[in-house]
Amino acid sequence: MNDIEERKNALREEFGYFGSPEERFEYIISKTKGAEPLCESLKTEQYLVRGCVSNLWLVPEIREGKCVFKADADSVITKGVARLVCDMYSGLSPRGVLDFDCEFLSEIGISQYLSPNRRNGLSKLCEKIADFAKKNLEK
C-alpha cells in the first residue's frame, strides 16, 4: 500500500466515528486548540489565500524533498479545515501531493458540508498547494 492510500485509510478511520457533520467540525475545531499559530511575520500578502471569506494564510516549503504546509486563519472552521488539508499533504513529495486529490475530503464528509464561500476557499487552498507542488516537481 502506498503512502497516499495509507493516509486516506487513516483519515477514513479517524472521521468514520462521527455520525453528523457537526461532530466532524467540532472535532476539527478541537484539534486547532492548543496548536501553534503561524508567526505573525508570515501572515503577509505573499501567503494569503485569495478567494476565501476569512483571512487564510498558507506557508509552503520543501524539506528534504518533501512538501511541508502550514496554515492559519482568523476563523476557527477555516483554520481547522486548512490544518486538516495541510496535515493531509505534508510529508508527501511534490508528485505525491499532485496524485492526492483534494476531492477526497468529500469522501470523509468535510467539503460537502461547508458553505459555498468556505468551499470556494477550500478549493483555492488546494489550488495553491497544487501550484506549489507543480513548481517543485523538477527540484
Q: Looking at the annotation, which residues are catalytic?
A: 52
Question: Which residues are CB-contacts of 23 (< 8 A; sequence separation ≥ 6)?
Answer: none
SS3 of 39-89? CHHHCCHHHECCCCCCCEEEEEEEECCEEEEEEEECCHHHHHHHHHHHHHH
Tell me the three cell numbers of residue 83.
490544518
